[in-house]
Structure 1
């Protein structure tokens, strides 16, 4: 396709890298179908008044992707160390078109209910049903926009709901990290405070170690130094 932005070409190439790798078994989305650019839906509050005072990062327009189904589920082939991964990135219009956040627990505090109402997911694991999701937080007048990860593992802590942990990453950096990790389960823990994500990180350490051993060989065009340093700092 010739009408892709520079960032869209990078992500379409990453999907092809997954599809074409003889080291991975995969099921992936279609990078041929494009939606309208995000600018066509601005200002956001005309479509959803909940976004009236939400400030988008300055570079979000530049990095936002128009694919209607950008993502893949994969695993390593027989004979290789066992690694699994999955992601599916929503067009950002589908993020702010969500009418409400996830359902809070019955015993949630008022703070937790308010927090949950501010979340809108943009990455998920629908093909496997593994339940991991990543959200933007619709907190007014906050820049950069907050990114929160949800897992069923033992992460997070008061005053936030169990299972949620804030990532030290921007929306653009999140998309960039997917080019490296290909959605390896647990990669998000590399961008969280280890004191709050300890239990969740431990459950994914083997996947991350194997990824950092194998990926530099099968995807030599990428530099995994920064991810290796992040993992070492958390163990």
Structure 2
């Protein structure tokens, strides 16, 4: 394999830990193929009017990964509480190549249409079709670029479209959190301004509780105290 950056080494090791865990049934991506780093892609897109005055901050340029198939879908095996997860991090080539953002609802406002046009997905759940997705907002003259999470749950705050929540992380922080959560369904809620106390989030809370119960044993190299604090703050 081509020499990996420190961040790429960490994500490769995380995927290996998922694949090799005897307590998880997992389908994982293939990390053998690497594409160009982001800085080499920028000349191809700097004259695209979709990205007019959009700037990628230095931290993003450093932490962005070159893998073209970084992803996994997994579930716990018999003997452990039921828990599921999935992620699929797109290379920035695939982010840039998306022709448009998510489709607006028929009654969407002009603001919502403009907002959705700036979103490009970078994390998906394609193997399960669970419908969860994370976006980077390619907004002009803004740094760092915002990260948004989409779920089928009743979430969202005016004036933004329903089903979307802003996360309080940067792109690099999102990737760091993924090393801990391994894509556990609903982990993104821990990094949003939301209460998970309602009945509509019982399954989400259950999954997060199980993650915090199981993962310290499965992945003892990680510290889960911050995620525990985040869950308690959102009950």
**Same fold? TM cut 0.5:** yes
State the match for 2:9 in structure 1.
Answer: 9
Residue 125 of structure 1 deviates from its aligned partner by 0.1
Cα distance in 2 for partners of 1:71, 1:200 equals 27
Q: Which residue of 2 aligns with 1:230?
A: 230
Residue correspondence of structure 1 range 65-214 to structure 2 within 5 A = 65-195=65-195, 201-214=201-214
Displacement of 1:158 in angstroms is 1.4
Q: Deviations over 1:124-146 (max 9, x none)?
A: 00000000000011111111100
Q: 1:151 to 1:200 in 2, by over 3 A?
A: farther
Spell out, residue by residue over 1:110-169, the C-alpha distance to the aligned partner (whole angstroms, 9 max, x if none): 111111111000000000000000001111111110000000001112111110000000
CA contact (8 A) 1:70 1:88 kept: yes
Contact 1:44 1:96 in 2 (8 A): no
Q: C-alpha root-mean-square deviation of aligned residues, in Å?
A: 1.6
Distance 1:198 1:42, change over 3 A: farther
How much has 1:46 moved relative to structure 2? 3.4
Matched, 1:46 2:41: no
Number of corresponding residues: 235
> For residues 196 and 233 of structure 1, do their structure 2 counterparts lie closer, same or farther at Cα, with a shift above 3 Å needed?
closer
- Residues 39 and 61 in structure 2, CA contact (< 8 A), matched pair in contact too: yes
Unaligned runs of 5+ in 1: none
- Structure 1 distance, partners of 2:27, 2:114, is 36
